[in-house]
Amino acid sequence: MSGEDLIEIERAGRRCGVCRSGRGWRRFVVVRPPQREPVVLCGSCRARFGEDPPVGRREPAPESAARDGGPFPPPKAQADKGESKPAGDRLRAALAEMSGSFSTAMVARAAGLNKAKALARLRALERRGEVHRVGNRWSTGPSPDDVALAMDRLEARTSNLRIVRDRARSG
């Protein structure tokens, strides 16, 4: 056992890095897998795992899973182009709290803006398709136009499926 190994074993509390056993620690070995911290191993774990013990591995950060916002990611780059909006946009924050339909006055109050400013922002968002009018109120839900378009697309896809199936049956 080298002095360096002894230091690692002492640092590990004279315990195996895998099974945490401290038995026979004087016969422990230190393995140094590439790109990883040294790992102290007891005799049986050394025999079992060799130079690749199942500890101290650098797992890739689970970023992609956390970032995945569902099947319809917002078209960010496009929507925000040409407008540097302030951090912590109060109107957007107020919209996030609205459910169903809401009036301009409600948004203005929640955002702490005057009604004219809130209305101007709502109109800008309407042009970008983020809100739409419901009578004399507003909504952040899907607009009736979007729903109609989705139905058209679904119908088109359904008739394609029928054509394919009929061909398969006749051939």
Q: Which is nearer to Zn ion, 30 or 91 (CB)?
A: 30
Contacts to Zn ion from residues 124-163, by CB under 5 A: none
Q: Does 122 bind Zn ion (CB under 5 A)?
A: no
Q: How many residues bind Zn ion (CB under 5 A)?
A: 5
Q: Which is nearer to Zn ion, 41 or 118 (CB)?
A: 41
Q: Does 45 bind Zn ion (CB under 5 A)?
A: yes
d(CA 35, CA 30): 15
Stretch that binds Zn ion, among 19-27, 49-57, 68-76, 148-156 (CB under 5 A): 19-27
Sole binder of Zn ion in the list 9, 16, 95, 111 (CB under 5 A):
16
Q: Least distance to Zn ion from the beta carbon of 46, Å?
A: 8
Calculate helix-pair angle for 115-127, 90-97, nearest 10 degrees.
80
Burial of 53 (0-12, 13-18, 19+ CB in 10 A): buried
Provide the CB-side half-sphere exposure for 60 (13 A, CA). Answer: 5
Sole binder of Zn ion in the list 39, 42, 125, 131 (CB under 5 A):
42
DSSP structure class, residue 5: H
Stretch that binds Zn ion, among 36-44, 95-103, 119-127, 136-144 (CB under 5 A): 36-44
Sole binder of Zn ion in the list 6, 19, 120, 134 (CB under 5 A):
19
Question: Are the CB atoms for 30 and 5 separated by under 8 Å?
Answer: yes
d(CA 17, CA 37): 11
Q: Which is nearer to Zn ion, 47 or 168 (CB)?
A: 47
Q: Which is nearer to Zn ion, 18 or 118 (CB)?
A: 18
CA dihedral 135, 136, 138, 144 (to 10 degrees): 20
Stretch that binds Zn ion, among 8-16, 61-69, 111-119, 138-146 (CB under 5 A): 8-16
Residue among 11, 30, 34, 13 at smallest CA distance from 22:
13
Residue numbers at the binding site for Zn ion (CB under 5 A): 16, 18-19, 42, 45
